[in-house]
């Protein structure tokens, strides 16, 4: 099992693999770092790669693979999205639901990896960690927004 090899088997993602964090677009580079960059196996811009297949759906942004052992990898599904209003939590939940459906179908080759779904806010967050919005995100399997930069452990 290898993130890069499995990614290549997914319809629409054959050309999406990038080494390290290179799949992050433009300003998104400012929102994701790695504690140990040498452990990052690669990344893919899911949103851009699948826009033609799912043009009207709320797609998830990125997947980043980190080596956790000699032959194992963990996937960090990263959504870089504004959090300036409580309504944005609904949008991110919709994106998480789309991702789960996609992983159960066309993206199945990536479904068996250990994973985390993480919302990285682009600016200030309009709700707190014990708000109904944060609880809804947790129920959807999404780690609510904290700081504007997520560091992959």
Quick one: which H or E segment has residue 119? strand 114-121
- Please state the pTM of the whole predicted model: 0.95
pLDDT class for 77, splitting at 50, 70, 90?
very high
pLDDT class for 70, splitting at 50, 70, 90?
confident
Backbone φ and ψ for 91, nearest 5 degrees, come out as -65, -45
Q: In the chain, which residue ranges form alpha helices assigned H by DSSP?
A: 3-8, 46-50, 87-104, 132-139
Instruction: Tell me how many domains the chain contains.
Output: 1
pLDDT on residue 112: 95
Percent of the chain with pLDDT over 70: 99
State CA 17 to chain mean position distance. Answer: 14
CB 25 within 8 A of CB 63: no
Percent of the chain with pLDDT over 90: 91
Look up the domain containing 87 and give its range: 3-152
d(CA 60, CA 115): 14
Q: Average the pLDDT over 129-142 and give the result.
A: 94
* pLDDT tens-digit series, residues 51-61: 999 999 999 99
Highest mean pLDDT among 43-47, 86-90, 120-124, 129-133: 43-47
């Amino acid at each position: 099992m290898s993130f890069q090899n499995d990614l290549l088997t997914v319809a629409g993602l054959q050309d999406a693999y990038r080494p390290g964090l290179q799949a992050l677009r433009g300003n998104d580079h400012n929102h994701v770092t790695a504690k140990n960059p040498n452990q990052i196996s690669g990344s893919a811009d899911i949103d851009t790669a699948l826009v033609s297949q799912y043009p009207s759906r709320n797609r998830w942004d990125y997947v980043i693979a980190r080596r956790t052992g000699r032959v194992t990898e963990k996937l960090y599904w990263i959504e870089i999205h504004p959090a300036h209003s409580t309504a944005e939590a609904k949008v991110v939940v919709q994106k998480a639901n789309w991702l789960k459906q996609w992983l159960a179908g066309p993206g199945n080759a990536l479904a068996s990896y250990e994973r985390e779904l993480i919302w990285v806010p682009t600016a200030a967050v309009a709700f707190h960690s014990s708000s109904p919005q944060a609880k809804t995100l947790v129920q959807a399997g999404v780690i609510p927004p904290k700081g504007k930069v997520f560091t992959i452990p």
